Chains A and B, each alone.
Chain A
Amino acid sequence: EAQVTQNPRYLITVTGKKLTVTCSQNMNHEYMSWYRQDPGLGLRQIYYSMNVEVTDKGDVPEGYKVSRKEKRNFPLILESPSPNQTSLYFCASSPPSSPLHFGNGTRLTVT
């Protein structure tokens, strides 16, 4: 089944403890992206990648890192999480110039 898989689905952590949210897609898509969803703000892009080893900042990149060493994987790294990064995170992928396919989300709470 074609899908975007995020792990974990839920994560509670403490301020400053590094964490990684994984994202994997099995559709051979070139483009991958991370969004965060907050009430009243919709989906805001954090980082995106047009292909392997090509990444760029979205609208809200501060406090996040990404890497794209392989086509299928696009992990989101929070080196030192803070409470304002408590949010619902979505990974998405697509072929060039095509609509995004989204994962089922990761709900992160930073205390």
Chain B
Amino acid sequence: GQQLNQSPQSMFIQEGEDVSMNCTSSSIFNTWLWYKQDPGEGPVLLIALYKAGELTSNGRLTAQFGITRKDSFLNISASIPSDVGIYFCAGGTSYGKLTFGQGTILTVHP
């Protein structure tokens, strides 16, 4: 099946630093989604991307849908302690099929 490679697997940063993570695939996707999972909870949608080349921001978060349709990145600016969690990318093709990356564990040191 399709696979996504998400990197890095984990990050340990200082509060105030910027963060960047990305997902790549050998397959083309029609949508890219970024989710965040807090401890003990389900993933929550951060940003949805629907068009190749699209750049979308949500507060301190910025994500882009790669022009080749095979990759996406998420940036977090000026990190704060509540940014801690696991971040997942997901690529969508036909209706009902989402493939998730392995996740990036983010730790923010005050």
Contacts and interface: CB of A to CB of B under 8 A. Distances in A.
A3 to B, nearest CB: 10
Main secondary structure of the interface of A (DSSP, over half): strand
A100 B1 contact: no
Interface in B56-110: 88, 90, 95-98, 100-103
Nearest to A41: B102
Interface in A30-60: 31, 33, 35, 40-45, 48, 50, 56, 59
Contacts of B1: 59
Residue with the highest number of chain B CB atoms closer than 10 Å, among A44, A56, A97, A104: A97
B24 interface: no
A31 B96 contact: yes
A50 B42 contact: no
Best-surrounded residue of B4, B9, B48, B97 (most CB of chain A within 10 A): B97
Interface of B: 1, 4, 6, 9, 33, 35, 40-45, 48, 88, 90, 95-98, 100-103
Interface of A: 4, 31, 33, 35, 40-45, 48, 50, 56, 59, 90, 92, 96-97, 99-105
